[in-house]
Structure 1
């Protein structure tokens, strides 16, 4: 069972510790901490959430810690600069969203325990002094991102230094047997072992999972990098974004997100379509997956208009409208970008490409018609 639960993991530390803990014959407490610093769970998060689900299926208890308190600090893992602190209202709203979306993957019965670390981190100064006497500044500066910033003479706040200590104390308060996290969390997870030991607990097993590369094929998936696919993205959007990933990402995405291999003998195009279908099915169901694929084919292969085109209201001040201004307004672009796209033939009206010199258009020629920017963005215009 230990080998099964550790499959696809990057590290399981210390070696052999998971098998020893499982041999105790009891339900383990398996911890995952999520700081609600963004409102949506994306596919990158599901790698570790799926591993948690495997522990649940084996009869163990998942302890999902919503880091509402530590979100006020901000996890600096992988960051080169201090992160902005969120407001209490943002944290509360994002925490609720995390809980709701995590339920798409995790069992929500007695095998799931959801805790907020504000329960125990709103501590007295005496308790804080007891906690921070265990790790040393030298230990904390061993962390790669801190070491780089220190060497470069860049500031590191005391709050940031406290972050891994507070995360480690979470493990003490929920008596974690195992803690999961991405490879960028290894230092923090090992700090949890040290803090538990200082409080007289058996140190947790550390299990790290790979980081999913985002749609750009370069950096880890993150909303901060704009390369994410959210688990609540519309089926068509999820399908289309998946088809845009690089060929080198196909096999890792199949493995990490679906626990499978690409279809044998399939070319990159067919493998991506299979991947996109499977992901949409997982989060939205078979019917939504089939509709997403057929909708994609209608729009991008048969060049038909999509069924669900959003309406955009444009206000006219005279008998004509300046087309670059309309494009900029309804698609959220700058006027210079709108003019450039128009000059490149990337703007269509009811399927017909507009000439580069098309600038001022009579209101009657725009009202009720579909304006398309590139291949993927459509708005039905209503002129008032």
Structure 2
């Protein structure tokens, strides 16, 4: 059935206003809504009868730690919990062994069951920093997918056509360019869609690169005769510290949920003033009005952007640690970057005597390449023991050195 529910004209003004406020918070920062009326209907029902509804988001445990990019969805799940949502936090322990092909130009590497199990365990420890455990169920899709059996899988494939599958941008592009698409990759959207059938979802959330997979869930709910069709909400991908690419561990532009307070706070302070507002929209628990007031203050000059960014850095660091830890991190940051001091906690690495500075910077991940290291040195961005070094051919003698690139990259190098 279609989710064409209309607001009840008999709702009193107070209830209508509460639903509108809830919808404004839910829609905040979202990329797209499908079935918005159904969500408003569910929230109104919760306010009237305390009847809760099912909200799902799936996570493939492809890496052991979550970063703030992952938490955009988790924040949105927590918002739904405040308005009547029971969250199905779905760990795709089966689908992760296939690999989600979304946005990929080639076949994804499959993970082993051991890797999936190990990574999934860490997810469960991290999500309850945000979600209310009383209204959260952690699910594993291997449970119902194994129960399908071969016959069930064959029946599942009959409910979706190859032509529909090739409507996906990444599949269509690879097909037109004669690049391989494995049959198992076609199974991924079907199995993700079947998760919505098994969990009887009312709403599914995902990144905007997941839209096709989320819509498959709606199609399959109809095909399997469920008396509902899930609404779909997509959120934008969060740019990382570089302000260009989506947050990713492989790109090194991420802020990890389990990072130490000092590192988390310093990384938050490194984002641009412009990107700060997107982080507020997607990660902060401040209301829309509070954020609008902050924007207005920055625009009229009554608030300095640095102060606003400090508030955000404190909020995020407190969320994943404690207020005391966040305040200590702020004090450390102000000391290091306001007084040109050395951080109390920096990475330490050992190297052999005679190593070339550019090679050391590359090995320490302070520069992506020796060419970039040369450019950083030429630009005056290198300090060794607080002294600016512009010699590109610098080689190290034995000893201990504090190396700094730019304002925020430090290393203690032990030269044997």
Residue 186 of structure 1 corresponds to 211
SS in 2 for 1:181: strand
Residue 171 of structure 1 corresponds to 196
Match of residue 237, structure 1, among 238, 257, 263: 263
Match of residue 17, structure 1, among 38, 46, 49: 38
2:139 paired with 1:137: no
Which range moved further: 322-331 or 114-123? 322-331
Residue 283 of structure 1 corresponds to 320
Residue 108 of structure 2 corresponds to 83
Instruction: Report deviation, 1:61.
Output: 1.6
2:239 paired with 1:218: no
**Cα 1:203–1:2, aligned 2, differ >3 Å: closer, same or farther?**
farther
2:335 paired with 1:298: yes
**Which protein has the bigger helix share?**
2
Residue 42 of structure 1 corresponds to 67
Instruction: Report deviation, 1:361.
Output: 5.1
Q: Deviation string for 1:113-151 (max 9, x for gaps)?
A: 111111122242211111111111111112222222223
Q: Deviation string for 1:158-179 (max 9, x for gaps)?
A: 1111111100111111221221
Instruction: Report deviation, 1:204.
Output: 1.7
**Cα 1:74–1:372, aligned 2, differ >3 Å: closer, same or farther?**
same
Match of residue 205, structure 1, among 231, 237, 248: 231
Match of residue 356, structure 1, among 386, 391, 397: 391
SS in 2 for 1:114: strand
**Cα 1:86–1:233, aligned 2, differ >3 Å: closer, same or farther?**
same
Instruction: Report deviation, 1:342.
Output: 5.1
**Cα 1:246–1:343, aligned 2, differ >3 Å: closer, same or farther?**
closer
The aligned runs of 1:66-77 (5 Å cut-off) are: 66-77=91-102
How many residues are aligned here? 376
**Counterparts of 2:396 and 2:248 in 1: how far apart (Å)?**
41
Instruction: Report deviation, 1:252.
Output: 1.9
Instruction: Report deviation, 1:155.
Output: 2.2
1:345 touches 1:356 (CA, 8 Å); kept in 2? no
**Cα 1:278–1:150, aligned 2, differ >3 Å: closer, same or farther?**
same
Which range moved further: 148-157 or 167-176? 148-157
**Counterparts of 1:124 and 1:362 in 2: how far apart (Å)?**
65
Residue 309 of structure 1 corresponds to 346
Residue 327 of structure 1 corresponds to 360
1:312 touches 1:330 (CA, 8 Å); kept in 2? no
2:27 paired with 1:7: yes
**Counterparts of 1:300 and 1:27 in 2: how far apart (Å)?**
48
SS in 1 for 2:247: coil
Q: Deviation string for 1:333-361 (max 9, x for gaps)?
A: 66666666556554433322346277455
Quote the RMSD (CA, aligned, Å).
2.7
2:142 paired with 1:118: yes
Residue 269 of structure 1 corresponds to 306
**Cα 1:325–1:255, aligned 2, differ >3 Å: closer, same or farther?**
closer
1:12 touches 1:207 (CA, 8 Å); kept in 2? yes
SS in 1 for 2:27: coil
Residue 279 of structure 2 corresponds to 253
**Counterparts of 2:413 and 2:251 in 1: how far apart (Å)?**
31
**Counterparts of 1:380 and 1:221 in 2: how far apart (Å)?**
27
**Counterparts of 1:326 and 1:215 in 2: how far apart (Å)?**
24
**Counterparts of 1:330 and 1:226 in 2: how far apart (Å)?**
14
Could you tell me which runs of 5 or more consecutive residues in structure 2 were left unpaired when the two chains were aligned: 1-17
**Counterparts of 2:397 and 2:219 in 1: how far apart (Å)?**
71
Instruction: Report deviation, 1:292.
Output: 1.9
Residue 375 of structure 1 corresponds to 407
**Counterparts of 1:184 and 1:326 in 2: how far apart (Å)?**
37
Instruction: Report deviation, 1:234.
Output: 2.1
2:87 paired with 1:62: yes
2:357 touches 2:392 (CA, 8 Å); kept in 1? no
1:33 touches 1:65 (CA, 8 Å); kept in 2? yes
Which range moved further: 349-358 or 145-154? 349-358
Instruction: Report deviation, 1:62.
Output: 0.8
Instruction: Report deviation, 1:71.
Output: 0.7
2:55 touches 2:204 (CA, 8 Å); kept in 1? yes
Which range moved further: 49-58 or 269-278? 269-278
**Cα 1:209–1:358, aligned 2, differ >3 Å: closer, same or farther?**
closer
**Cα 1:208–1:274, aligned 2, differ >3 Å: closer, same or farther?**
same
Residue 92 of structure 1 corresponds to 117
